[in-house]
């Protein structure tokens, strides 16, 4: 075939491609190849119109979706490869197939690379700009980082192992990573986050939060509704929470701020600190200390080998039956002077330990060891404060117990 005939065939194919792209809703698409240092780059750009939703799926590469004031969806896909020549590079680029189009109200972009197989000298990055009023973004990559910002619609996001970065998203979010870190800025609705092992950091969530990591730390600044948080072994930190908090870790510490609801805090071995809760508190650790402050509804707290500090506030209207227990540690209990409660306290081995109280209505007694040799004794404390009320059981095997009277208004130790 003559050169002129070859050119005519190429021209016909190009015209046909333009017709197909236009029918699919692709207004324009362009491609250029250039060298950047020791890497060859192909840059593919395109425009999609008339879509309320975006669906992006790629086998490889990072994905960045950014909302803005434009009315169309534009995309830039950058392929990179290490090759000896432009001709070799173009052959490699052809194995990364990029397709785009519209299906009803959904714009779609697809990246496929059968030859990728985890090669480090071979990649593609997707930058997509969408109207910030878009109703849904669904973005999936086989292994790169994923970032979505400034959209008012819903988000479904998944990466096989990269980091996830989300910010300024108004509707529901469901995001997953096979093992990368997850960073969330300000979000306005329900938030579900999961990573196989990375850390999770959430700054400000207006809706309910579910966050799960296979082993990384989890940090939440503010969640205006409830939060359910779980990690296989990292620490958990939650600032202010507008609803119930359920936090579990296989071995790290838990640090919770003011919780405007119930608090269920559980760790296999770290310490637990709670600034305050307006609902029932459950706190359990296999071996750390418990510091639980400003609790209005009572608490059930247990540690395998640490001490306990528990501060109760309020007038007892919402106070529930409570229990504080340590296998080996001191327990210090702050009670408001007007709280109606019935107290039962005991120390199993009180040799060198004792029960102290600032309340005259709490009577302390002890029992000699059964062998009569004056060895370790069991100590008890029992009584009704302000006529009695719901029960408060306090028990430690080896440790001291202190009952401290506080002012009813501030919950501070009484002078």
Which of 308, 312, 363 lies closest to 330 in space, CA to CA? 308
Alpha helices, DSSP H, located in 251-356 = none
Sign of the torsion angle spanned by Cα atoms 317, 389, 257, 154: negative
| pLDDT at 23 (0 to 100) | 41
What DSSP designation does 37 have? T
129 in Cβ contact with 68 (< 8 Å): yes
- Rounded CA-CA distance 42/111 in Å is 14
Nearest 5°: phi and psi at 400? -100, 155
Q: Quick: pLDDT tens for 184-203.
A: 999 999 999 999 999 999 99
- What Cα–Cα distance (Å) separates residue 181 from each residue in 121, 126, 234, 313? 23, 19, 13, 39
pLDDT beneath 70, residues of the chain: 1-28, 114-121, 368-376, 408-415
| pLDDT at 414 (0 to 100) | 38
- Rounded CA-CA distance 391/249 in Å is 29
| pLDDT at 38 (0 to 100) | 86
Give the tokens for residue 58: 């790629």
| pLDDT at 122 (0 to 100) | 73
pTM: 0.88
Q: Quick: pLDDT tens for 40-80.
A: 999 999 999 989 999 999 988 899 999 999 999 999 999 98
Domain boundaries, the chain: 21-180, 289-415
């Amino acid at each position: 075939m003559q050169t002129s005939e070859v050119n005519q065939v190429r021209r016909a194919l190009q015209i046909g491609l333009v017709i197909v792209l236009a029918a699919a809703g692709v207004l324009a698409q362009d491609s250029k190849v250039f060298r950047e240092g020791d890497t060859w780059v192909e840059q593919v750009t395109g425009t999609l119109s008339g879509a309320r939703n975006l669906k992006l799926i790629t086998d490889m590469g990072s994905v960045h979706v950014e909302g803005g004031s434009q009315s169309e969806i534009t995309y830039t896909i950058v392929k990179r490869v290490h090759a000896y020549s432009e001709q070799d590079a173009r052959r490699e680029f052809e194995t990364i197939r990029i397709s785009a189009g519209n299906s009803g109200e959904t714009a779609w972009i697809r990246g496929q690379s059968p030859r990728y197989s985890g090669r480090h000298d071979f990649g593609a990055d997707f930058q997509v700009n969408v109207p910030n009023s878009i109703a849904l973004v669904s973005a999936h990559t086989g292994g790169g980082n994923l970032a979505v910002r400034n959209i008012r619609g819903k988000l479904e996001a998944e990466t096989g192992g990269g980091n996830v970065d989300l910010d300024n998203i108004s509707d529901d979010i469901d995001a997953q990573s096979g093992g990368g870190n997850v960073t969330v800025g300000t979000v306005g609705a329900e938030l579900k986050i999961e990573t196989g092992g990375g850390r999770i950091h959430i700054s400000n969530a207006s809706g309910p939060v579910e966050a799960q990591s296979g082993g990384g730390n989890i940090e939440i600044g503010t969640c205006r509704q409830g939060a359910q948080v779980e990690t296989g072994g990292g620490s958990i930190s939650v600032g202010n929470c507008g609803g119930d908090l359920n936090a579990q870790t296989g071995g790290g510490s838990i640090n919770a701020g003011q919780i405007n609801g119930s608090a269920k805090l559980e760790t296999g071995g770290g310490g637990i600190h709670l600034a305050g809760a307006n609902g029932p508190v459950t706190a359990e650790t296999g071996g750390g200390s418990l510091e639980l402050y400003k609790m209005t509804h009572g608490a059930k707290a247990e540690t395998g080998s640490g001490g306990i500090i528990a501060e109760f506030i309020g007038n007892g209207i919402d106070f529930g039956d409570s229990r504080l227990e340590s296998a080996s540690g001191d327990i210090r209990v702050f009670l408001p002077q007007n709280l109606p409660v019935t107290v039962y306290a005991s120390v199993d081995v009180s040799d060198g330990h004792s029960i102290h109280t600032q309340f005259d209505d709490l009577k302390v007694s002890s029992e000699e060891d059964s062998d009569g040799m004056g060895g370790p004794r069991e100590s008890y404390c029992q009584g009704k404060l302000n006529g009695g009320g719901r029960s408060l059981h306090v028990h430690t095997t080896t440790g001291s117990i202190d009952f401290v009277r506080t002012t009813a208004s501030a919950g501070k130790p009484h002078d």
